[in-house]
Chain A
Amino acid sequence: AQTVTQSQPEMSVQEAETVTLSCTYDTSESDYYLFWYKQPPSRQMILVIRQEAYKQQNATENRFSVNFQKAAKSFSLKISDSQLGDAAMYFCAYRSGSDNTDKLIFGTGTRLQVFP
């Protein structure tokens, strides 16, 4: 079974600085998709970024980028020029691309605090 691990329960960053959130996963599949979601205090889940495992190029969305290391099964999120509005819970998620179950599995989350 696939698992997703986020080993940092909490992280903090100064406004305008850069922070990296870690995520590792375990799978025997070669075809899959990875996501980072943000959950602000409103508890609404918001997609931050998506990565296809077959793509070597790291995904980027404005100030958000990932470091996808397929062999190491690592998928970290880098937030550049951090803003107060980035404060939230961040969840890493895995979705199978090759089996019939189509599960979407989440890690336990990292709480990010942003200090002015």
Chain B
Amino acid sequence: DGGITQSPKYLFRKEGQNVTLSCEQNLNHDAMYWYRQDPGQGLRLIYYSQIVNDFQKGDIAEGYSVSREKKESFPLTVTSAQKNPTAFYLCASSIGWGAEAFFGQGTRLTVV
């Protein structure tokens, strides 16, 4: 089945460690997105990519980094510079202009 896979579903890390969240899609979509979801704040855009080897910062990019070396993959690294990394992270992809986005099941990151 085509879809978006995020892994792992739950992730625990110690404070000060970098951690990478995986996002893979087999929908042949060009655009991919990373969102952070906190209670009462909806989905906030971290990074997005419209094409391989290119990506742009969203509204809350500080403390995060991404890469887009393959069309299918858009991993997100939460660095130690992110001051409050505990959150629910959603990855999405879209075929192009004006099309709806399809979402993965999310990763719950807890930093202790």
* Residues on the B chain within 8 Å of A101, using CB: 56
Q: Does B87 contact A (CB under 8 A)?
A: no
| Closest chain B CB from A34 CB (angstroms) | 10
Is B94 in contact with A104, judged by CB distance below 8 angstroms? yes
Q: How many residues in B have their beta carbons less than 8 Å from beta carbons of A?
A: 25
Is A52 in contact with B98, judged by CB distance below 8 angstroms? yes
Compute how far the CA of A104 lies from the CA of B58 in the bound complex, rounded to whole angstroms: 10
Q: Does B48 contact A (CB under 8 A)?
A: yes
Render B39-59 as a binary contact track against A, CB cut-off 8 A, 1 for contact. 011111100101000001010
A contacts with B: majority SS? loop
- Write the chain A residue with the least CB distance to B33: A104
- Write the chain B residue with the least CB distance to A92: B42
Is B58 in contact with A103, judged by CB distance below 8 angstroms? yes
Q: How many residues in A have their beta carbons less than 8 Å from beta carbons of B?
A: 23
* Residues on the A chain within 8 Å of B43, using CB: 91, 106
| Closest chain A CB from B29 CB (angstroms) | 12
Contacts known (A104-B92, A106-B43); A44 close to B105, Cβ less than 8 A: yes
Q: Does B74 contact A (CB under 8 A)?
A: no
- Write the chain A residue with the least CB distance to B98: A33
Q: Does B106 contact A (CB under 8 A)?
A: yes
| Closest chain A CB from B94 CB (angstroms) | 7
| Closest chain A CB from B31 CB (angstroms) | 6
Contacts known (A103-B58, A108-B41); A95 close to B98, Cβ less than 8 A: yes
- Write the chain A residue with the least CB distance to B101: A104
Q: Does B1 contact A (CB under 8 A)?
A: no
- Taking Cβ atoms with an 8 Å cutoff, the residues of B that contact A are 31, 33, 35, 40-45, 48, 50, 56, 58, 88, 90, 92, 94, 97-98, 100-103, 105-106
- Beyond the given pairs A44-B103, A44-B105, 19 more chain A to chain B contacts, judged by CB atoms under 8 angstroms and listed by A's residue number, are A6-B42, A9-B40, A33-B98, A35-B100, A42-B105, A43-B106, A44-B106, A45-B90, A45-B101, A97-B98, A101-B56, A102-B48, A104-B48, A104-B94, A104-B101, A106-B43, A106-B44, A108-B40, A108-B42
